[in-house]
Structure 1
């Protein structure tokens, strides 16, 4: 039986497969939900302007992992979606079916911007959507008046499947962009927006983190501010630590710190540091010639001539506290990680007149252009360094390994982990169901012939 609330259902059509997040009936309280691979009814575009997208690659991000772990310190964005649901908001795919679209056509490769504002979800336009800030929509906590199909689209997940709904206004042509670059669109948009949240005053910036967002923030900083000096500070409590104790990993899982540093430097970092907060503060003071200012009752100093900006891609209490200590007076920390309930000493905020800027989405930037317009331009440019960020690909039925790999991250050499969907279009598989004949995938229209996924397989097969 298809779970209620996942999609707008059409019981007369061939099903699709999806990774469904559902409550565990055998457990109570705050137990993490279960993930299962199920057959569900094919989503139907609920109104004119909507399209059914067949994902070719769908990413796993921090929001997805938070949903899987029932992390209540990280409330999801968008309209609340009761279980069962399908996660996944990072998608590059192919238009499979349309309902009254103006330009989107079946067979077209697209990126998807997972912002569904008032117009898309059937509400009168709010002030934020009128300003082009759909990610801040004042109606995002309300179920769509169109129906569950509008809320079940990529505005709040659904990409871990063989079919997901998206409105035409959320689609961007992917001509000239490989799948392995296109699936980074959401992460790149978030990185660009985070960099633009810093109203530049100065030349020295630190980025805290080492994952996908960190790497794209470095690349975005280098592209938008070619002359800026970038220091990357990998979290002192890195992937080999849990809680207060260091856990020794097997040799084949140990972090190759030198390769991580080289990768970050290739993206534009001037230097990559690891260490405790005290060590990172000392190294920054030496680099800048800053004086360490000791506050009574505090174990760690603040820097009197510190950095001009910190972009924190972790969003933990430790990383935010470190970021504020690294800054000069009057500087800015951009919190681009998914921070939740943090217990911090905020005295430095007012005493040193720091600015904290949150960065949780993207839409229209202050200069008036759409963030995804830059995403398309940058990903089309072969010189933009994004080809190495997708490190692991899995079929939907290997979801346990995929999720574990994404959660382990740097400890297993993972940056962006993605799901690969079958390349055969739905219409071919529906024909197979109707006729009870097998479908020869090699005879199906090769809509993805130019994608990186196809090229990689050809290279592997041809030596």
Structure 2
């Protein structure tokens, strides 16, 4: 089959990492293959074959391609060969259109439930490094060629991972996985207050805004992001305003909401006394984490959404102002939704034409154009891109 294969052999990885460090896009890890074998169905009940209709390119995919993935998390991603792509709308062999929850937890690996799975948190399963009957050496589909991924013509998944979407338009359906990520993140905050900030309105940030607006119609939401491309998207998603990043955010929000600005000695970013109630950081750089901490009121919450990485941050405000720092990853059964699966809720929202996600898929490419697609996704707003998607099977019609 045709597939974009990632070869994570150590010399290739180090070469790619070094090349990106000096600004060279070597692309040494990925290649388009036309002879890669289709993944085999695991020898266990419930596994089905899928043909991807459309697959999104996620920030974590870009991180793999550029050798920027966390070395700590490599303990859970041990497959040498990957077929990336976990934001998938696909067609089963029986002709049903589905979106895919990519998480491969104990039930899929043939193990008795670990403590996390027993407690209803399969998205942080304690056996992500053990393939079991699934053969998957990763926490999710799209990170091991054994089960395939959305950047290939065929993959396999367990029927419990599939959520039917009927005639949902392809450009909306392909957003089911990132919408679920965003909803799971939004649900980490048990509302205490009326003011929220979302830093980094890329795809995930925009979908966090949309989720917050759907969950909390009266919430005041500020998006923080650079340039002139993103603000119209943020406002359509539900933001009340978009501000450029930097220390000036503190000054602007103080003027809007009546807070006080306090200036520490010898630091660039002032503090916002009487600050906002929650900050969702969808970037995860030291500068954005630092800004978020400076914006929060005492006992506020900082939710870290998306990819992980090592960042030097002065965490003293966490102690001094008794802040909560909450990580958010993946999704699954939601206690805040009475145990309903995040993706089931996401599909329901996406089926509502009023849910403001039209236009987020800005670019679609066939597999042979994968280099252009990846470069565009990595550039983001600089390439006028929000969500870039690949079309592995052009014979499958896109629904409109």
1:227 to 218, 224, 233: 218
Which protein shows a greater Rg?
A: 1
Is residue 31 of structure 1 aligned with residue 16 of structure 2?
yes
- TM-superposed deviation, 1:112: 0.2
Q: Give the aligned partner of residue 242 of structure 2.
A: 272
Is residue 166 of structure 1 aligned with residue 153 of structure 2?
no
Q: Following TM superposition, where does structure 1 have runs of at least 4 consecutive aligned residues deviating by more than 6 angstroms?
A: none
Q: Give the aligned partner of residue 392 of structure 2.
A: 421
- TM-superposed deviation, 1:351: 0.4
Q: Give the aligned partner of residue 176 of structure 2.
A: 185
- TM-superposed deviation, 1:228: 0.1
- In 2, the alpha carbon distance for the partners of 1:140 and 1:25 equals 21
- In 2, the alpha carbon distance for the partners of 1:109 and 1:365 equals 24
Deviations 1:133-180 (CA, angstroms, capped at 9, x unpaired): 1111011122x2215368697263521000111101100011131211
- In 2, the alpha carbon distance for the partners of 1:303 and 1:155 equals 41
Note closer, same or farther for the CA distance 1:74–1:384 as it changes in structure 2 (3 Å cut): farther
Q: Give the aligned partner of residue 56 of structure 2.
A: 59
- TM-superposed deviation, 1:83: 2.1
Q: Give the aligned partner of residue 41 of structure 1.
A: 37
Note closer, same or farther for the CA distance 1:72–1:154 as it changes in structure 2 (3 Å cut): closer
Contact 1:149/1:165, CA 8 A, preserved across alignment: no
Task: Tell me how many residue pairs correspond in the alignment.
Answer: 382
- In 2, the alpha carbon distance for the partners of 1:344 and 1:322 equals 10
Q: Give the aligned partner of residue 340 of structure 2.
A: 369
Q: Which is worse superposed, 288-297 or 117-126? A: 288-297
Structure 2 unpaired stretches of 5+: 18-27
- In 1, the alpha carbon distance for the partners of 2:212 and 2:312 equals 29
Note closer, same or farther for the CA distance 1:370–1:28 as it changes in structure 2 (3 Å cut): closer
Is residue 110 of structure 1 aligned with residue 98 of structure 2?
yes
- In 1, the alpha carbon distance for the partners of 2:61 and 2:97 equals 24
Contact 1:115/1:155, CA 8 A, preserved across alignment: no
- TM-superposed deviation, 1:263: 2.0
Q: Give the aligned partner of residue 214 of structure 1.
A: 205
Q: TM-score, normalised by structure 1?
A: 0.78
- TM-superposed deviation, 1:383: 1.2
Is residue 318 of structure 1 aligned with residue 306 of structure 2?
no
Structure 1 unpaired stretches of 5+: 1-15, 97-105, 239-254, 425-446, 453-463
- TM-superposed deviation, 1:44: 2.1
Q: Give the aligned partner of residue 21 of structure 2.
A: none
Contact 1:45/1:51, CA 8 A, preserved across alignment: yes
- In 2, the alpha carbon distance for the partners of 1:296 and 1:20 equals 51
- TM-superposed deviation, 1:28: 7.4
Deviations 1:67-102 (CA, angstroms, capped at 9, x unpaired): 111114365589423322111111000012xxxxxx
Q: TM-score, normalised by structure 2?
A: 0.90
Secondary structure (helix, strand or coil) at the match of 1:328 reads strand
- TM-superposed deviation, 1:361: 1.3
Secondary structure (helix, strand or coil) at the match of 1:381 reads coil
Q: Give the aligned partner of residue 356 of structure 1.
A: 325
Is residue 390 of structure 1 aligned with residue 361 of structure 2?
yes
CA RMSD in angstroms comes to 2.1
- In 2, the alpha carbon distance for the partners of 1:335 and 1:28 equals 27
Q: Give the aligned partner of residue 132 of structure 1.
A: 120
